[in-house]
Amino acid sequence: MVEKIFKFRGKTIEELQQLDIQQFGELLKSRKRRSIRRGVPEHQTKFMEKLEKGKPKLRTHRRDIIITPNMVGKTIEVYNGRKFVPLMVNEEMIGYYFGEFVQTRKIASHKGTGVGATKSSKHQGKK
């Protein structure tokens, strides 16, 4: 069985880690590429500095930070509006925002008709 090597736009993870942020930005899709061309936001540069220092537990409220190759393998806690959700970054997440992986809303799980919702609904559960 052949081992699958991850590539992002034709480059391996080691090649991507050698690129600076501007060169990496040229490989992204248009919206993120334009954002990086205009200049990396200050909050993202501060976050990257903390990441490079090797802080053991990184937490952020910013869901609009683009995942870069040097974040791979790190666990970052992202705030979803209620609590910090741990996010283990892997290769397939490169080029996406943090917010795309941390849900802000719960999936509705309805158990049945509401009690007293309507006159007809009180007989639906019975057989």
Residue 4 has a pLDDT of 87
Residue 103 has a pLDDT of 93
CA 86, 12, 25, 50: dihedral to nearest 10 degrees? 40
30 is a domain residue: yes
User: What tens digit of pLDDT does each residue of 62-83 get?
Assistant: 999 999 999 999 999 999 999 9
117 is a domain residue: no
Q: Rounded to an integer, what distance in angstroms lies between the CA atom of residue 91 and that of residue 88?
A: 10
Written as six digits, the tokens of 103 are 């849900």
38 is a domain residue: yes
Q: Rounded to an integer, what distance in angstroms lies between the CA atom of residue 17 and that of residue 89?
A: 14
Domain, as residue range, for 40: 7-104
CATH value at residue 91: 3.30.860.10
Considering the entire predicted model, what is its pTM? 0.82
Min mean pLDDT across 28-32, 58-62, 111-115 is at: 111-115
Secondary structure (3-state) at 48:
helix
Q: Total domain count for the chain?
A: 1
